[in-house]
Amino acid sequence: MAWGDDELLQVLSLYTKRHGSTFTSDNQRRLLLEVLTGEQGSIVAVLPTGAGKSVAIFGPVLTESTGVTVVITPYTALRRQLAEQARSFGIKHMVWSDRNSADSPDRTAMKLVIMITDDIFTEEAKS
For residue 33, is it within any domain? yes
CA-to-CA distance for 16 and 35, rounded, in angstroms?
17
Let me know whether 71 and 32 are in one domain. no
Burial of 99 (0-12, 13-18, 19+ CB in 10 A): middle
Task: Say whether both 72 and 126 belong to one domain.
Answer: yes
Identify whether 57 is part of a domain.
no
Q: What is the pLDDT of residues 49-87, one digit of tens each?
A: 888 889 998 998 998 878 888 888 888 899 999 999 999
- Tell me, yes or no, whether 103 lies in a domain: yes
Give yes or no: residues 34 and 81 share one domain. no
Task: Say if residue 70 is in the same domain as residue 122.
Answer: yes
Per residue in 62-96, is it b (16+ CB within 10 Å) or e — as a string?
Answer: eeeeeeebebbbeeeeebeebbebbeeeebbbbbb
Number of folded domains in the chain?
Answer: 2
Residue 19: band (very low, low, confident or very high) from pLDDT cuts 50, 70, 90: very high
Q: Give 111 or 108, the one with higher predicted confidence.
A: 111
Q: Are residues 69 and 126 in the same domain?
A: yes
> Does a structural domain hold residue 60?
no
Per residue in 28-38, pLDDT tens?
999 999 988 87
Q: Predicted confidence band at 123 (pLDDT cuts at 50, 70, 90)?
A: low
| Domain limits for position 116 | 65-127
Same domain, 78 and 124: yes
